[in-house]
Amino acid sequence: MRNGDTLFIDGKWCAADDGRTFRVTDPATGAVIATAADGGTAETDRAIAAAHEAFDTWSAENAYRRAEVLWRTHALMTERAEDLAALMTQEQGKPLKAALNEVRYAADFLAWFAEEAKRVYGSSIPSSRGGQRFSVLRQPVGVVAGITPWNYPVSMITRKVAPAVAAGCSIVLKPAEQTPLCAVAVFELLAEAGLPPGVANLVTTSRPAEVGARLLDSPLVRKLTFTGSTEVGKDLTARAAATMKRVSMELGGHAPMIVFDDADPVHAAKGAALVKFLNTGQACISPNRIFVQRSVLPAFTDALLDRVGKLVPGPGHRPGVTIGPLVDEAALRKVTRQVEDAVEKGARLLAGGDRLTDDGLDAGRFFAPTVLADVDESMRIYREETFGPVAAIVPFDDESEVVRRANDTEYGLASYLYTRDLGRSVRVSEALRFGIVGVNDINPTAAAAPFGGVGMSGLGREGGAHGIDEYLDVKLVGVCLP
C-alpha cells in the first residue's frame, strides 16, 4: 500500500511538495490504516496543467482506442475485485459483501462507457436554404474536475472518470478525505491499463476547500462533476459560474417510500429494510420517510422489526456482519439528534435508538439499526436527510394525500412505491417529482440507467446513454456550398 505518495499527476505517483500527509482511519476501529499525501494549491495547479496538456492528444485519439483502455481497466478491476473490496471495507466500513457489490457496480461503469465511447453520434439537419448543410458534432468539453464522496468510494469515481475518458476529456479527481485509498486503487488500475499520462490525475487532500477553490477558479477547467452534500454543491455551482463551467451535481436526497394497502406488506418491509440499512443508511437514495397506508401498518411494522432484529452490526470484515459503522462522530451526533427530536415530539421508538458500544464496538462509530413509528411533519427527520440507519414510518390514509406529502420536500432524487395496482403505479410514478422512481423495486440503479435528481438534489444525469452527454459540447457546423 502507498504511504504518502498518493498524488497521481501526469502519469507519476508523488508526495505533496512539502511532504505533508494526513491519516486515513478505519471507521470500525479508529485505527490508522495509512497516510495519504495532503495535496494543496501547487499540486492541484500541476494536475490541471497536466490534464490541459494531455487533452489535445487524448481528445484526438480515436474512440476505439479510448474504449480499449477502459475495457482493460474493467478487466483489472474485475480480476482484483476481492482486494479492492477488502480495502473498501477497511477504509469505508461497509461489509465485505456490500463492498464487493460496489466494486462490480463500479466496473460496470467502465464497461458501459467503453461502449458509449463508440456511440458519440452526431446528426445532420435539413436547411431551408438550398446550398446550405448543417451538421451537429459532439465534442469533449475539455479538462474536467471531479469531486467524489466517501460513501461509495469506488463507484462514484468510475461513474465520473469513465464517461470523461470515454468522451475524450481529461480529468483531475479530488476524492473525499475519508477515502483516498480507494481512489488510489482505482488510479493504479487506470495506469496499469495504459491510460496515457495526464489524462486522469488524482489529488488526495485533507483540505477540500483549498483544492476545490483551485479547481473551480481555473479557467482551464471546463466542467465540474460533483457528488456530495447539497450545501457544498450549491457553493461550488455558484463559484463555477465565474468561469462559466458546465456542472453536474449529484446532491442529497430525502426519498419517500410509499407502501399502499394493495401491496404485500411483508414483501414491502423486506424491501424497506434492504434499502434503508444499505451502507448503514449512508446513501443519497436511502428512504427517509416510509409512508405506510394505515390498514397495512401493523403487518408492515412487524415484518420490518423482524428484519431489523436480524441485522448484525460490526466491523465489515467480520463474517456474518451485515451493517457497518457510520463514517464519523458528526454522523453519529446527527442521527442521535434526529432520533431524540422525533421521540420528544411523539414518535415511538420501536428498535435501536442509540450508539452501540458492546463487544468492542465502542472503538468505532456504530449506531443501532433503529425504527421510529408515528413520524410526522413536525420532526427534523421528516425534512432533514438522515444518512444513518433509522427507518422513519409515517402513517397515511389515501393516495392523493400521500403524493402531496411525498412531494413536500426540497429534494428530488429517489422515490419508491409498493403497489399491485397497475393504474396506481402509473399515476403515482408520474406524479412524484423525483429523478428516480422504483415501483416495487428498491434498486432502480444500474450503469445503463440515468441517475440523478431534480430540485435541491442536483443537475444532470450519470450513467446510461445520458451520462456521456455531460462531458460533450454540441457544435453546429453550417456549410454553404459554392
Three cell numbers, residue 255: 426519498
CA end-to-end distance (rounded Å), the chain: 63
Whether 169 is catalytic: no
Distances (CA, A) of 39 to 14, 42, 203, 218, 226: 10, 8, 6, 16, 19
Q: How far is the CB of 147 from ligand ADP (least distance, A)?
A: 5
Q: How far is the CB of 204 from ligand ADP (least distance, A)?
A: 10
Residues between 372 and 411 that touch ligand ADP (CB under 6 A)? none
Instruction: Please tell me whether residue 177 binds ligand ADP under the rule CB under 6 A.
Output: yes
Q: Which stretch binds ligand ADP (CB under 6 A): 138-146, 154-162, 173-181, 332-340?
A: 173-181
Q: How far is the CB of 149 from ligand ADP (least distance, A)?
A: 4
DSSP per-residue letters across 403-442: HHHHH-SS--SEEEEE-S-HHHHHHHHHH--SSEEEES-S
User: Which of residues 44 and 301 has its CB atom nearest to ligand ADP in the complex?
Assistant: 44
User: Which of residues 209 and 479 has its CB atom nearest to ligand ADP in the complex?
Assistant: 209
Q: Which stretch binds ligand ADP (CB under 6 A): 206-214, 352-360, 427-435, 458-466?
A: 206-214
Catalytic residue among 250, 385, 462, 470: 250
477 exposure class (CB count in 10 Å sphere: 0-12, 13-18, 19+):
exposed
Residues between 265 and 324 that touch ligand ADP (CB under 6 A)? none
User: Which of residues 17 and 235 has its CB atom nearest to ligand ADP in the complex?
Assistant: 235
Q: Which stretch binds ligand ADP (CB under 6 A): 97-105, 144-152, 262-270, 467-475?
A: 144-152
Using CB under 6 A as the criterion, what x/- string covers residues 225-244 for binding ligand ADP?
---xx--x------------
- Per-position b or e across 249-259, b if 16+ CB within 10 A of its CB: bbbbbbbbbbb
At residue 433, φ and ψ (nearest 5 deg) are: -90, 75
User: Which of residues 149 and 271 has its CB atom nearest to ligand ADP in the complex?
Assistant: 149
Question: Rounded to an integer, what distance in angstroms lies between the CA atom of residue 70 and that of residue 189?
Answer: 10
Three cell numbers, residue 354: 442509540
Q: Which stretch binds ligand ADP (CB under 6 A): 13-21, 142-150, 159-167, 376-384?
A: 142-150
CA-wise closest residue to 390 among 372, 411, 415: 372
Instruction: Please tell me whether residue 147 binds ligand ADP under the rule CB under 6 A.
Output: yes
Instruction: Please tell me whether residue 149 binds ligand ADP under the rule CB under 6 A.
Output: yes
Q: How far is CA 200 from the centre of its chain?
A: 19
Catalytic residue among 284, 385, 462, 470: 284
Alpha helices in 263-344 (DSSP H): 265-277, 297-309, 329-344
Instruction: Please tell me whether residue 212 binds ligand ADP under the rule CB under 6 A.
Output: yes
Question: Rounded to an integer, what distance in angstroms lies between the CA atom of residue 428 and that of residue 299?
Answer: 23
User: Which of residues 388 and 412 has its CB atom nearest to ligand ADP in the complex?
Assistant: 388
User: Which of residues 276 and 307 has its CB atom nearest to ligand ADP in the complex?
Assistant: 276
Name which position in 196, 208, 395, 450 contacts ligand ADP (CB under 6 A). Answer: 208
Q: For ligand ADP, how many residues bind (rule: CB under 6 A)?
A: 12
Q: How far is the CB of 39 from ligand ADP (least distance, A)?
A: 12
Whether 250 is catalytic: yes
Q: How far is the CB of 142 from ligand ADP (least distance, A)?
A: 20
Question: Rounded to an integer, what distance in angstroms lies between the CA atom of residue 43 and that of residue 49?
Answer: 10
At residue 86, φ and ψ (nearest 5 deg) are: -65, -40
**Beta strand pairing status for 472-480 and 132-140?**
antiparallel
Question: Rounded to an integer, what distance in angstroms lies between the CA atom of residue 317 and that of residue 329?
Answer: 21
Name which position in 1, 31, 42, 209 contacts ligand ADP (CB under 6 A). Answer: 209
Three cell numbers, residue 478: 453550417
- Residue ranges in contact with ligand ADP by CB under 6 A: 147-149, 174, 176-177, 208-209, 212, 228-229, 232
**Which residues are tagged catalytic?**
250, 284
